[in-house]
Amino acid sequence: MAQQTTVLITGCSPGGIGHALAMEFHKRGCHVIATARRPGVLRELGAMGMSTLQLDVTDQASVDACRDETAALTGGRLDMLVNNAGRMSVMPALDQDLDDAKAVFEANLFGTMRMCRAFGSLLMRARGLIINESSLGCTVCPPFYSVYSSAKAALIAYSRSLRRELRPLDVRVMVVVVGCVESAIWENPASRTDLPPDSLYQPARDVFRRAQASDEFLRSTLADVFAAKLVTAALRGEGRLGGWVGGSPDWLWEGAYVGLGRLCMALPWGFSDLVSFVMCNGNRMTRLIREAAAAKLKTA
């Protein structure tokens, strides 16, 4: 009898991508270990037969405790680690609170690093797969997303080096570039912070608010549709010829607008600057700010 595939997913709160992934892996017959900072939100998944654990990826003690509990559940091995937990931030770079910026990097980058370090031995025993979720934002780099986009870009660089380091240890690394996908991450208060009263971008605050609510204006892929595609790719396994044929891909681009992101990566950077400028009402933002600056000079 084949051993059940074990999958640990971070950030499984209802309404998010992690929750949809937990449901899909469970549907495919995997032993899912769903985690969240507040374990109470995982009751539904636990009632379905999944294992549920408390986990705060920004807290080393919490990560270590989760690893030990996982080892007890799985016999000391883990087939897949899905680093989904993250934090959003939408704010002009000149107005960005540095403590908030550090929190974004803690959740999106350093949290993933903690998980990979802590769960390395469990993954090695299973010849496992690490799945790190980056974002389309680090290819298009829209205004007001400087901190979030840079954290996700750093995650890609980290994952590429990690992949090469873990290959001799028979652990694979898949990077998922996530496009626009319906997710409760947009409901986090950190995504809806107001501009400071003295912000230079106050004249264009309607452009800023639209950027904050881009999930309401842009087409998004349903979370369960996204999850089905990711899970299908993840369950392909090691493949043949060292993973070059038939295995889980090193890169997966899924979600709305990922085709545009791939085009931005293939063409000179100026193209992605133009795309970002047009999509985010750059002309209107520039005009409003310059008009306000000119009016201030006249009254000075």
Domain ranges of the chain: 6-299
Q: Which of 115, 65, 129 is nearest to 86 (CA)?
A: 115
Q: What is the pLDDT of residue 265?
A: 84
Q: Digits of tens for pLDDT over the chain (300 positions)? A: 468 999 999 999 999 999 999 999 999 999 999 999 999 999 999 999 999 999 999 999 999 999 999 999 999 999 999 999 999 999 999 999 999 999 999 999 999 999 999 999 999 999 999 999 999 988 888 899 999 999 999 999 999 999 999 999 999 999 999 999 998 776 666 667 899 999 999 999 998 998 887 766 678 899 999 999 999 999 999 877 666 677 999 999 999 989 988 988 888 878 888 877 777 778 888 899 898 878 877 775
Q: What is the pLDDT of residue 30?
A: 98
Q: What is the pLDDT of residue 212?
A: 85
Our measurement of the distance from residue 97's CA atom to the centroid of its chain's CA atoms, rounded to an integer in Å, reads 21
Q: What is the pLDDT of residue 1?
A: 47
Q: Is the pTM of this model over 0.85?
A: yes
Which CATH number is 6-299's, of 3.40.50.2300, 2.120.10.30, 1.10.150.120, 3.40.50.720? 3.40.50.720
Q: What is the pLDDT of residue 241?
A: 67
**10 Cβ contact list (under 8 Å, min separation 6):** 18, 35, 55, 57, 82, 83, 84, 85, 111, 115
Q: What is the pLDDT of residue 274?
A: 84
- Starting from the edge strand earliest in sequence, which strands make up the sheet with 51-54, in order? 51-54, 31-36, 6-9, 80-83, 129-135, 172-178, 251-254
What distances in angstroms separate CA 134 from CA 25, 63, 147, 158, 203, one per listed residue? 20, 20, 13, 11, 32
**Would you name the residues annotated as active-site residues?**
148, 152
**256 Cβ contact list (under 8 Å, min separation 6):** 179, 180, 181, 218, 219, 220, 221
Q: Which of 215, 194, 213, 216 is nearest to 205 (CA)?
A: 194
- 57, 111 contact by CB (below 8 A): yes
- 12, 42 contact by CB (below 8 A): yes
